[in-house]
Structure 1
Amino acid sequence: MSFQNTQPSPGGDITGNASPAFSTAAADNTLSEALLTLKKRRWIVIVAMLVGLIYGVYKAKTQPKLYSAFGQIQVRSGSSNEFRLDAAQAITGGTDTASKMLTEIQILKSDSLLLTVAREMDLANNSTFLDAKGPVTHRSLDDPAVRQATVDRLQTNLRVVLVPKTEIINISYSSLDAKLAADIVNKVISAYIQRSYETRFASTQRVSQWLSSQLDDLKQQVETSQEQMMDLQRRLGILGFDPSHNQIATSLEDLSKAAGDAKLARIIAEARYRVLSGMDPDTMESSIDALPGGAAVELNQLRTQLAEAKANYAQLEATLGPNHPQAKSVKAQITELSSEVAKEQNRLLVQAKENFVVARANENQTNAALESQKADAYKLRDDLIEYTLRQREYEANRTLYEGLLQKLRTAGVEAGLESMEIDIVDQALPPASPTLRSSSKIVMVGVIFGLIGGIIIAFLLDSLDTGLRTITEVENVTELPSLAVIPRARRTSVEQGASLTTAQKNLIVLSQSKSQFSESFRALRTSLLLSTAGHPPKFILLTSATPSEGKTTLSTNLACILAQGDARVLLIDADLRRPSVHHRFGMSGKVGLTTVLTGASTLENAAQNVSEVPNLDVLPAGPMPPFPTEMLSSQAMDSLLQHCGEIYTHVLIDTPPILSVTDGVILARHSDAVVLVVRHGKSSKHIVRRARDLLVRSGAPITGIVLNAVDLNSPDYYGYYGYSGYSYSSADSGSWEPQGASEGKTRGSREAE
């Protein structure tokens, strides 16, 4: 059978399928883990509670006898509302009552107020206030350090509390002297009332000064605006000016009407002239009658007379003849009447033309007057706009001035009302007896703080502890599964050891086969046999990060457990620097691995059978060689392992610590399963992680870790095995002892592995 690596890569599962890394489901801290931590470090918590108890008792017995004086004041937020001049302010009562009361409390505890109290009472030189024995040297509050120390001391012992749902403030002070406590409270109240008067007076003064300066400017602006408005009125020539009714507007309206009438008259006259000048003179009278402007009466009369004369002449000429004097007289009359008609026609035409010219001139003059009046109206409009602006500016300045003047007068009245809102309900009186805190309360507080401190220290120490004590920690650090937990072994009693062989004394699985120790090795055997898919591992290598972690103990006991079945098992002691396997079985170490590798002996001659376990052979290390690493990495070692694989079912190899020498890393490449042994409470997280990394980088088939020498009675492992409360027989009873003890007895002064 080949002894080459048939294991999956580190972190693989038992089926041979590689997985990225092993992770435990219990990685997160839980409440149960916290309780285990507290139980594990319970003595730290108990000691811390005892220290807190002692301190509490000490503080309760030695607490100073402080006298607390109490005083009460009422800060009325609405005591003067009925006298307020502003109705809205009288209803709301000014600012919010709750915020105002909190503000007053902060004022009572302010540095400036307490500094005033300290100056008036000269507390910086008061030995009672300073808790000094005997007189004190003179100190001045002008010194910043003295001032700050005095104010801090006052603030520390002064308590200002608002009584819920009231306007009453409780003020108390604690001191070793009853009279001093009462005096300080009363002085704080009087200083607060005095400050209230002064601050309100100063505030009123600041408001008055500001309003006065603003009023002076506004008054000047009002006067200037009024003068500008009056100058504009004088320039407009009006007094009590009404912008909607004025002479220019009336004239403009009349001129607009007159311009319309003149234009109409000009159109009529022009039409009459145009008609008369272009018509037949003989029909002029009929056209004149049709045109507007009246009929031509004289022309009609002349035409009538001319027609009568012509008719008369025609009659006379027919009867008397044209030469008759009467006919000639009528003919002369006809000629004269014709001349008169022509003159009248010309006169009417000239009259129509003159009327047209007059109407046109009238229209032009009326339009000119209208345009002039419009210009005056436009100018008046601009003046009216300026007048309106001046008037508005004047009204605004006057309104603001009157409002500020009213506010100034109101502020002066209400300032006096506001300053009367603080009343003293109770003056502070010297207390008759000191105020002591409850002793039980002080002790309880000390115990609670001790408990909290102990818990904090316990968790702090647990976080700083780099030792591996639980399966969860080991699995989280190594990212490898745990194969088994090996408890600390029971040491065989002297009476029982008298009848046992050396192997039975050193190997607990032989002397106490029904103990929890033996059962843990059976669990380890099961984990190893199921760690590879298809076939159990043949070459099993056990190693550790550092010495004294119980690696040899695991190798020898595991070999016995594996050999108790039908399998033939060979245990090889490959620790050529500090061999100890042959001591455990009481064998001779003169012949062993080194003699086989050098050819001085054969495997059959060097391997020694264990009489207590017939299927188990042990190959001791043999004489210590000068170059162990070269010997283990030689071709002879490869051939030996191949030969062993053909003979034995399982070959266990016990190697030295891998962080000390590289022997274990070299042999790990020829193994089917590598088991990393970690000792409970001894192995460091960093060391174990480094050992794991070294094996991973070398390609070793790491199967898992074994946590050795575990105290199953510790809180971390309470009830770890289901049969922890079950025992086989009283014959297995005995005292408990870590596995290193038996190794030390076997090897004498040589250091335990």
Structure 2
Amino acid sequence: MAEFGTQQSEGDFDWSEMLHSWFFKGRIAFQRMWWVFLLTVGLGVSFQAYKGWQQKPVYQSRAKMIVDGQIVLTDKSAAQYSEVYANFYGTQVQLMTSSLVRQKAADRVRALHPEYLPCQVTLNVTQSKDANIFNLSAWGAEQNYTQAYLDAVMEEYLNFKRDRRESKAKDTVYSLQENLLEYQRQIEELEQQKLDFQKKNNIIFVQEQGNTAGAQLASLKDQQAQLKTQLRLLEEIDLDRFVDQGLPPGDEQALVESVLTETDTEYGQARRNLERLRAEMDEFSIYMKPKHPKIIDLKREIERQENLLKIIRRQTLNQVVNKKKILAGELANLNVVIQESEQKALKYSTLNAEFDRIKSRLASYSARHDSYLKMMESLHQSENIHQEPVTILEPATTPTTIPVNMFKQVTSGGLVGLALGVGILFAFAMTDNRLTSVEDVTQRFHAPVLGIIPLQKQRQGEVTLLQPNDDRLMFAESCRNIRSSLLFMDRQGPRPQTILVTSSIPAEGKSTLSSNLAITLAFASSKTLIIDADLRRGKAHRAFGLNANVGLSELLNDTELKPEDVIQQTSYEGLDLIATGEYPERPGELLMSTRFDQIMDELKKRYDYIILDCPPVLATDDTPSLATKADAVLFIIRSTYTRTRQIKSAVDTLELRGTKIRGFVLNFVDNREPNHYYYKYYDYYSYRSYAPKAGNHEKDKKGHPKHAEKIPSGEEHKTPVSGKKETVVAELVDKSAPANPEQKPDDNTDTDKTDKTV
């Protein structure tokens, strides 16, 4: 069964193609529903015209408001009401036209002028270009009410802003009062804490003791540092060892000497005397002999001084050892004193810090309290100062009558009607599911599209049949394309001999296409028979100029009749016709009879191809039953006419009977449709006339020309009748046409030369 649904196409999406398709659908919808535009435009124009004639006089009043300067106080502490000036003018316009201000204005007019008849007033507020002025305009049906309403709008606008300013001021005062009360409470609590602290502690004594304790602690810290330094120095030297062993050589000796010198001044004096004597000895030794009395005396004095120095050193070292012990004891005592002093200083400093914190908080709250008091005073002072920047420049003028612009009314009605018509047309075009292109068919059904037939002009409601040298090139080539597609679509299997042509609903062109398909098969030197199997409304004989006195119905009812008794020869060589005959009472039973099967078996032996022109599938049950007996079913779809649900229903009916549709044919296709633009290239091709040769235009016994349109296609097959090799006709192409269809033929090409056969 054919699958119904949308299949995604591959490749990039072509927006131009889609827009072209929409435009084409819109054009088709306009051709069908052009009267919708006339209806909607007429209704729009009529409605607006009626509205204009019935409209009451409209009065307009104007007024102006200006943005004034403001007095700026030199005292920066004075409170002023400041507005947000970002987007100031837009905000004022929105405020003037707000529903709140307009409602208050209407209430004001109703209260002050109850005699005025209320009406709907339209308000417009704009800002003058390059000026700080607002232009107000009001339109209404009542003259006095409109003027009073405009004045009331300005007054209520100013009242609203004044109320907002007063409300802000009240809120600010309330907030300041709350803060003042809070600060006053905090100040009272802090003053009480200060008083309680002073009662509990003598603040003057605490401050003096704190200062004294701090100075004493600093002095003790200095003594502690000095003692630690001396004790550390003494601890670095092993003085006990020096007392027993003497001074060591090197740096350690110098260190001990320095300690001893600082400890005992006598040791230092003796050490300096010894150095002086040694210096004199060195000096006298330069120019005196060793045994010189002076030198001998100096040596004795140096020896005596060295012995004295050793005695003093020993005594001093003992003093230093004792001093080390004394320093350790003093340092321990000093640490205890310092600890007590620190506790005392910490106590007094804590009391001082607590008292200072109370005083600091009290000063801070007092300063804030004073600041808020100044703000309160400035708010009271600014209440009498006018701070509104916008004031009334010109009150509302006496309203003037505005004439009704009928042209504008009618034009707007026409445009609205036109837009409504376009919308209706667009909705109709988008919801219309009629098939218009090959893509529409292939997206919804799996069976291929064997060909498309362009839209042709009709004579008396019918399309003229193909002729041997027909000048309708697109139409002729389309019919031949269907013939070739039908015969060569299955190159491996047998070609269909009996071809059933049908459609879903009437008026889709199936009979015309059946006749032209049979003609193209006859042009290919194939013996072809067309049977008008529409036993209810068949009229295929009319197109060939034949009668339907005796036809298929008589052949099926009368067993004595033979097929040759009802077969009629057409004006086309190799093409015969069996008309419907008289319309029978039960056509469905006749087509399903064994008599019909016997006749079809006999006809298959006589003809290469048999075309069955059947009624629409949805109209009768004849076609679904008869389709099971055909080799191929060709389904005709009329472009922009047949709806998708009708085609799907017909296809489902055929496939329910086990019939497989060989392919679709899209009929009545407008070549201006975006997917069929290539039809214009048929104008590059034309038929060529050959010089008469023997047998080329030989006529049969009835005077009909025998067609020599027989050119091999490259594949041969045996026909059921004669066994001759049948070939499919290939067209004669104009050699003057370029290979590229977009390339125009050269003007110098000799178009009179005879083309070669392809």
Provide the TM-score with structure 1 as the length reference: 0.64
Does residue 1:80 correspond to 2:71, yes or no? yes
Change (3 A) 1:468 1:374: closer
CA 1:406–1:646: 2 relative to 1, 3 Å: farther
SS in 1 for 2:396: coil
How much has 1:539 moved relative to structure 2?
Answer: 3.4
Identity %: 20
Q: Does 1:528 align with 2:482?
A: yes
Distance 1:259 1:578, change over 3 A: closer
Coordinate RMSD, CA, aligned: 5.5
Amino acid paired to 1:79: Q
Structure 2 portions without partners, runs of 5+: 245-259, 268-318, 688-758
> How far is the alpha carbon of 1:374 from its aligned partner?
1.5
Q: Which segment drifts farther, 645-654 or 247-256? A: 645-654
Of 598, 603, 609, the match for 2:568: 609
Task: Identify the residue that residue 106 of structure 2 maps to in structure 1.
Answer: 118
Alignment partners' CA distance in 2, 1:679 and 1:124: 76
1:483 aligned onto 2:452: yes
The answer to whether 1:370 aligns with 2:341 is no
Q: 1:675 aligns with which of 595, 614, 634?
A: 634
What is the rounded CA distance, in whole Å, between the counterparts of 1:228 and 1:715 in structure 2?
Answer: 98
- Which one is further off, 370-379 or 434-443? 434-443
Q: Match for residue 169 of structure 1?
A: 134
Matched residue, 1:182: 147
Is 1:104 matched with 2:92?
yes
Report the Cα distance in structure 2 between the residues aligned to 1:650 and 1:230, rounded to whole angstroms: 131
Deviations, residues 523-553 of structure 1 (Å, cap 9, x unaligned)? 4421222214747864332101124544334
Please, which of 423, 428, 431 is the counterpart of residue 391 of structure 2?
423
Answer whether contact 1:233 1:239 (CA < 8 A) is retained. Answer: no
CA contact (8 A) 2:116 2:144 kept: no
Distance 2:101 2:377 in 1: 31
Greater length-normalized contact order (CA 8 Å, ≥ 6 residues apart): 1
Flag the 1:243–1:634 CA change in 2: closer, same or farther, 3 A.
farther
Kindly tell me the number of residue pairs found equivalent between the two proteins. 603
Preserved contact between residue 456 and residue 475 of structure 2 (Cα < 8 Å): no
1:434, CA displacement in angstroms?
A: 0.6
Q: Which residue of 2 aligns with 1:254?
A: 219
Which residue number in structure 2 is paired with residue 703 of structure 1? 663
Judged with a 3 Å threshold, the aligned counterparts in structure 2 of structure 1 residues 646 and 10 are, in CA distance, closer, same or farther, namely farther
Give 3-state SS (helix, strand or coil) of 1:97's partner: coil
Q: How does 1:448-597 map to 2 (within 5 A)?
A: 448-465=415-432, 480=449, 482-487=451-456, 489-491=458-460, 508-509=464-465, 522-532=476-486, 534=488, 538-560=497-519, 562-563=521-522, 566-575=525-534, 580-581=539-540, 586-587=546-547, 592=552, 595=555
SS in structure 2 at match of 1:370: helix
3-state SS of paired residue (2:423): helix
Q: One-letter code of the match for 1:108?
A: M
The whole-number CA distance in structure 1 between the counterparts of 2:610 and 2:234 is: 150
Give the partner amino acid of 1:49.
V
Matching residue's letter, 1:70: R
Alpha-carbon distance, 1:67 to partner: 1.4
Q: Which residue does 2:693 correspond to in 1?
A: none
* Paired position in structure 2 for 1:222: 187
Residues 647, 220 of structure 1: alpha-carbon distance in 2 compared, 3 angstrom cutoff: same
Q: What's the CA shift for 1:199?
A: 2.8
Structure 1 unmatched ranges of 5 or more? 1-8, 12-18, 132-152, 280-288, 297-350, 493-505, 729-753
For residue 564 of structure 1, report the CA deviation from its aligned partner: 5.0
For residue 250 of structure 1, report the CA deviation from its aligned partner. Answer: 0.6
- Aligned-partner SS, 2:412: helix
Q: CA deviation at 1:68?
A: 0.9
Distance in 1 between residues matched to 2:26 and 2:681, nearest whole Å: 22
> Cα gap change, 1:457/1:365 in structure 2, threshold over 3 Å: closer, same or farther?
closer
Shift of 1:217: 0.3
Residue pair 2:29, 2:425 contacting (<8 A) in 1 also: yes
Counterpart of 1:79 in 2: which secondary structure? coil
Distance in 2 separating the partners of 1:240 and 1:200: 57
Could you report, residue by residue, the CA deviation over 1:5-25 in whole angstroms, capped at 9, with x for unpaired residues?
xxxx999xxxxxxx99xx999
Conserved? CA contact 2:438–2:666, under 8 Å: no
**Is 1:440 matched with 2:400?**
no
Specify whether residues 593 and 33 from structure 1 end up closer, same or farther in structure 2 by C-alpha distance, changes over 3 A only: closer
Residues of 1 paired with 2:465 and 2:526: CA distance? 17
The 1:123–1:521 alpha-carbon spacing in structure 2 relative to 1, beyond 3 Å, is farther
Cα deviation, 1:561-585, whole Å, max 9, x if unaligned, reads 5435532111123345665556776
Cα distance per residue 1:128-155 (max 9 Å; x no partner): 5345xxxxxxxxxxxxxxxxxxxxx4xx
* Whole-angstrom CA distance in 1 between matches of 2:261 and 2:663: 141
Distance in 2, Cα, partners of 1:723 & 1:164: 65
Matched residue type, 1:453: L
Report the AA paired with residue 458 of structure 2: A
Counterpart amino acid of residue 129 in structure 1: L
Is the Cα contact below 8 Å between 1:225 and 1:390 reproduced in 2? Answer: yes
Shift of the 598–401 alpha-carbon distance from structure 1 to 2, 3 Å rule, reads farther
Q: Distance in 2 between matches of 1:266 and 1:564?
A: 140
Read off the aligned partner of 2:44 and give its amino acid letter: G
* Cα distance, 1:385 vs structure 2: 5.0
**1: CA distance between counterparts of 2:263 and 2:17?**
125
